[in-house]
Structure 1
Amino acid sequence: MCTEAKPNTSINVTHFIIGGFDTLSRPIAVGVVILITYLLAVLANMINIMFIISDKRLHKPMYLLICNLAVVDIVYTSSSSPTMIGVLLAGVNTISYVACLIQMCVFNLGTSMESFVLAFMALDRFIAIIYPFQYQRYLTNTRVLVLTFIMWFIAWCFAFYMPATVVPLPHCSSRLKYSFCDFAAVIRTTCVNPEKYFNEVSIAAFFIFFFTFVFICLSYCGILLFVKLSSNNEKMKMGSTLVSHLICVVVHYCPAFVRIMFTRFGVVLTLEERQGLVIGAVLGPCLVNPFVYCLRTKEIKQKLFKIFKKFNTSD
């Protein structure tokens, strides 16, 4: 294991020490909360995936997007939650250099894909509401799968950029300031001025978050203009369709904008506030998304009721 070094003294780092939770007064309580939330998120997303894969009637564009979102949520929350749980509950506060870079890559992959998928789902709702009779012609399963593959490819390119930036840099410390291996934590252990790299990553993150968010907003504007011309019954149905997506958008973008964007424009966060935002950004969407779509999607809800009915009958 590597040891701490004096500033500006380059060292060979084989392991990082995770120090983000050192100031917590009740680490076990926080660890238990993260563990329960993580297990619920993974279980709920896996149930959604199994429901959609096992039922051929759900092999439609909208459900493929929900399935893809569930996969993204599992990847996203699994990128960092096990590490935080290990630190808080098992006292394992070290991570190898290679594992740290992999974690950074997967975490940023999940962050990017969450934005891409929500933007794609906004497009899906836009076409379904504005062009209901042409929906099956515009969005086929094949087109959804192709566009999904393109999104994953772009997200991987962005995710690989960050560890590729860190690898050539010399390290002056092995202690991570935050709770897992995100880019900000690792770049602060290097011997270089991190501002240049923070700005580069902020620009890339800005394009991903800003353009996907603007795309979602424009889709909503188009839908709202169309809804104004519709009857009251249609308005209720369209509003119900959008609520699920809107909840997921708010839960994902609010902490992300504060953490990534606002801090670049002078908003100062304490270590505890930043930690809370990061944990909320990771666990919040991954827990909320499957329950929102499970409870608000008629076919999945009916399938759940049938399963519970069978259990009650057998008892």
Structure 2
Amino acid sequence: METGNQTRVSDFLLLGFSQDSEHQPILFGLFLSMYLVTVLGNLLIILAVSSDSHLHTPMYFFLSNLSFVDICFTSTTLPKMLVNIWTQSKAISYNGCLIQVYFFTVFIGMDNFLLTVMAYDRYVAICHPLHYMVIMNPQLCGLLILLCWFIIFWVSLVHILLMRRLTFCAGTKIPHFFCELAQILKVACSDTFINNVFMYVIAALLGVIPVTGILYSYAQIISSLIRISSAWGKYKAFSTCGSHLTAVSLFCGTGLGVYLSSAVTHSSLQNSVASVMYTVVTPMLNPFIYSLRNKDVKGVLGRLLNLAAPCS
């Protein structure tokens, strides 16, 4: 798209959900509540894992990393949206938008990687229980996390470097509540072919490879469970995967919903509402998924809450 008024703009406008000023207090209260629940819930998971030596295992190490990433994930988008609602402003600076794109890409990628690593952890625990602590040693766990961070940091940086070469028209409006890469490329005033190719290739690689890893891990787990003769043994082994399967289904299901929504409809409001599911709802629900289905975590959280309660 070529326009006569191309410039490296200083600000973008985030259109958000509603132009009606009467709806703004409701949206502010709703998203503030969801943000606080997300931060508090994930902080409690991190505190529980770090404070109890019985939870110093690979599974809970990855869970605490997932909670940290979920806090950062929601903090990338929600605080700016809440400020804009409160001040009745839609502006976000050009540099602020690039920073938001960078960290959003980092943390959504880390969510994806961590769920894959957690699937591998469950595969080793069920299919190779006698060698679990030897295979999933602290060095390997740390290396897996560092490798995930390294890959996604560089992928996100390339996205930003490619975006820096684009030009935008004055008064550019982004039909979303945050700076999403795909939406920004749609409103650019210069050629985005290279950006789109890189975005789709990376999305395919970072989508297909982790999903393939998760499917392979659970195929091996199911194959191993079939060979267990005891029904109780099968239930006990598979129950350790319940929380992870729920989290994976929620993350992948909402992500697929956003993709289908953007493909089927051109309504910016519907796309924004669909995006809320994986940017806000999923990180908010993860602490409940992992605590409500896990006796160890529930026990530690109960003790922490009892300690925090004032003595009568």
Q: TM-score under structure 1 normalisation?
A: 0.90
**Paired letter, 2:202:** A
Residues 48 and 304 in structure 2, CA contact (< 8 A), matched pair in contact too: no
**Pairing 1:124–2:121 present:** yes
SS at match of 1:134: helix
**Pairing 1:226–2:218 present:** no
Q: Single out whichever of 84-93 and 129-138 deviates more from structure 2.
A: 84-93
SS at match of 1:192: coil
Deviations 1:263-295 (CA, angstroms, capped at 9, x unpaired): 78x533421221012111101221111121122
**Paired letter, 2:169:** C
**Pairing 1:250–2:249 present:** yes
Distance 1:57 1:305 in 2: 15
Distance 2:191 2:275 in 1: 23
Residues 243 and 293 in structure 2, CA contact (< 8 A), matched pair in contact too: yes
Q: Single out whichever of 298-307 and 116-125 deviates more from structure 2.
A: 298-307
**Paired letter, 2:42:** N
**Unaligned ranges ≥5, structure 1:** 1-5
**Pairing 1:42–2:39 present:** yes
Q: What is residue 16 of structure 1 aligned with on the other side?
A: 12
Q: What is residue 3 of structure 1 aligned with on the other side?
A: none
Q: What is residue 236 of structure 1 aligned with on the other side?
A: 235
Distance 1:46 1:147 in 2: 22
Q: What is residue 169 of structure 1 aligned with on the other side?
A: 166
Q: Single out whichever of 124-133 and 232-241 deviates more from structure 2.
A: 232-241
Identity %: 26
Residues 166 and 189 in structure 2, CA contact (< 8 A), matched pair in contact too: yes
**Pairing 1:290–2:253 present:** no
Distance 2:310 2:129 in 1: 39
Residues 166 and 191 in structure 2, CA contact (< 8 A), matched pair in contact too: no
Distance 1:177 1:62 in 2: 39
Deviations 1:115-171 (CA, angstroms, capped at 9, x unpaired): 100000000001101111110010011210111001001011121122211111111
Structural mapping, 1:259-278, within 5 Å: 259-260=258-259, 262=260, 266-278=263-275
Could you tell me which of 299, 304, 314 is aligned with 2:301? 304
**Paired letter, 1:51:** A
Distance 2:310 2:231 in 1: 40
Q: Is the alpha carbon distance of 1:167 and 1:312 closer, same or farther for their aligned partners in structure 2, counting shifts above 3 Å?
A: closer
Distance 2:219 2:15 in 1: 44
Distance 1:312 1:74 in 2: 24
Distance 1:56 1:232 in 2: 31
Q: Is the alpha carbon distance of 1:128 and 1:280 closer, same or farther for their aligned partners in structure 2, counting shifts above 3 Å?
A: same
Q: Single out whichever of 71-80 and 186-195 deviates more from structure 2.
A: 186-195
Deviations 1:197-230 (CA, angstroms, capped at 9, x unpaired): 3343122111111211121111111111111121
Q: Single out whichever of 271-280 and 26-35 deviates more from structure 2.
A: 26-35
Could you tell me which of 59, 76, 81 is aligned with 2:56? 59
**Pairing 1:184–2:167 present:** no
Q: Is the alpha carbon distance of 1:177 and 1:8 closer, same or farther for their aligned partners in structure 2, counting shifts above 3 Å?
A: farther
Q: Single out whichever of 75-84 and 110-119 deviates more from structure 2.
A: 75-84
Residues 252 and 284 in structure 1, CA contact (< 8 A), matched pair in contact too: no
Distance 1:18 1:31 in 2: 15
Deviations 1:236-268 (CA, angstroms, capped at 9, x unpaired): 1123211100111011111222334x478x533
Distance 1:210 1:116 in 2: 11
| Count of equivalent residues | 308
SS at match of 1:276: helix
Q: What is residue 215 of structure 2 aligned with on the other side?
A: 217
SS at match of 1:160: helix
Distance 1:8 1:180 in 2: 27
Q: TM-score under structure 2 normalisation?
A: 0.91
**Paired letter, 1:102:** I
SS at match of 1:13: coil
**C-alpha deviation, 1:195, in angstroms:** 5.8
CA RMSD of superposed structures (Å)? 2.1
